[in-house]
Amino acid sequence: MTTSALVPRKKPRQARSEATVEALLTAATRVLSSDGLKGFNTNRVAEVAGVSVGSLYQYYPNKAALTAALIARTQTALADGLEARIAGLAGASLAEAIADLACMAVNQQYGEARLAAALDHEERHLPVPEIAEARLRMTAAVERLLERHRDEIATGLSPRAAADCLALSRAMVEADALAGSEPDPDLAARVCRALLGYLTLDAAAVTPGPYAR
């Protein structure tokens, strides 16, 4: 089926169309944030967006495509932000840079943790190129940062260190956001500690024996 692809049906060319697409994506975010996957259905999204379901299907061939677009947008924005931030940290020390990133993670993700958690699960199933691309851009950006401070960080880091940094900060922020109602004022410091610790720990400390079963 042509219909089962995840790509949006058509690029909106007119202003009205763009507004519709924007409304749909915003509505999808709202619904997902407030009701979770349970209440996330196309009729509801269209209703919240103030358009008809028919219009939704004008732009997205199916529900998965809408979800994919939402994820793509979120991830792309995240990647954009991260790239910009890291580019702007050219002269900073490692500690400063990490602190800045931790702070950014908290600010960017805390508010959308619920949305992120909902999308999290979907991400696995949807082969959206933008997601992979965003992920790549993000790890690449972090890798550039690590490269810059090559001499301040531990030797023998896994090639997956950048990915670990991202996963780790994301997880901590999300856990905090979803657990308590009150944000912990020390959250950024905790993330910072985890990142710095991970990056600077002396290699010798890590392997005291075989990781046998």
Partner DNA sequence: CATGAATGAGAATTCATTCAT
Partner DNA sequence: AATGAATGAATTCTCATTCAT
To which H or E segment does residue 111 belong? none
3-class SS shares of the chain: helix, strand, coil, % to 5: 70, 0, 30
Q: Could you say whether residue 126 binds DNA (CB under 7 A)?
A: no
HSE-CB for 212 with a 13 A CA cutoff:
2
Q: Could you say whether residue 198 binds its own copies (CB under 8 A)?
A: yes
Q: How many CB atoms lie within 10 A of CB 107?
A: 12
Contact with DNA (CB under 7 A) among 19, 77, 132, 178: 19
Site string for DNA, 61-80 (x = CB under 7 A): xxxx----------------
Contact with its own copies (CB under 8 A) among 34, 93, 111, 136: 93
Cβ 24 vs Cβ 51: under 8 Å = yes
Contact with its own copies (CB under 8 A) among 36, 50, 127, 129: 36
Q: Which is nearer to its own copies, 18 or 120 (CB)?
A: 120
Q: Rounded to an integer, what distance in angstroms lies between the CA atom of residue 167 and that of residue 161?
A: 10
Q: Which is nearer to DNA, 62 or 108 (CB)?
A: 62
Q: Could you say whether residue 143 binds its own copies (CB under 8 A)?
A: no
Contact with DNA (CB under 7 A) among 8, 12, 81, 183: 12
